[in-house]
Amino acid sequence: MPPLLQSGAAAPAFALADTHGATVTLAELRGKPVVLAFYPADWSPVCGDQMALYNEVLPVFQNLGAEMLGVSVDSRWCHAAFAENRRLRFRLLADFEPKGALARRYGAYREQDGTSERALFVIDAAGVIRWSYLSPIDVNPGADGILEILGRTEFSRRWNLCKRTRHERQSQRIEAGGRTE
């Protein structure tokens, strides 16, 4: 397996199903920070606690402009049941078939047991990994590292600049009689 992707690397593109069967792509998320949380499996105690924590701090992630996504090799149906049971308010993506293909590209696949590592990535608005972390498989990595990178002045400034530029483009289209949809 390749090593875990590090800060400065281009984030590998993806197109994965969420719990509703909708395809989520990295390209559609361009323009805002993305938090990718790879985890071994739905229903395991550590994974459940980790996803519950991210659910609790989700408003903070959102206030910092970030999209939170959980990723494991479980199917979308398994994710749907898990998300409903845990009342998760962020999307879970199924890296199901081919099994672990996205986790492999990020260097976050466990060949020995066929699951994802417990790995975190913060991807900036331009699609570049700005932070990554590989946690021991039986340890909840928490949210401190994610919050630290999202809260950094430089990262926040880039996000706000991107947001402002997008707003300016929308304003220009409105002035020109164009639609913003």
* DSSP characters over 8-56: TSBPPP-EEE-TTS-EEETGGGTTS-EEEEE-S-TT-HHHHHHHHHHHH
- Return the pLDDT at 181: 45
Phi, psi of 55 (to 5 degrees): -65, -40
- Return the pLDDT at 86: 96
- Return the pLDDT at 73: 97
Cα torsion 17, 151, 63, 158 to 10°: value is -80
Which H/E stretch holds residue 162? helix 153-175
- Return the pLDDT at 179: 47
Rounded CA separation 148/87 (Å) = 25
Burial class of residue 59 (count of CB atoms within 10 Å of its CB; 0-12, 13-18, 19+): exposed
Rounded CA separation 87/96 (Å) = 22
Residue with tokens 């409903």: 84
pTM: 0.85
Rounded CA separation 10/123 (Å) = 9
Active site amino acids: 47
- Return the pLDDT at 2: 77
- What CATH fold (topology level) applies to the domain 15-175? Glutaredoxin (3.40.30)
Q: Which residues of the chain have a pLDDT value below 70?
A: 1, 153-181
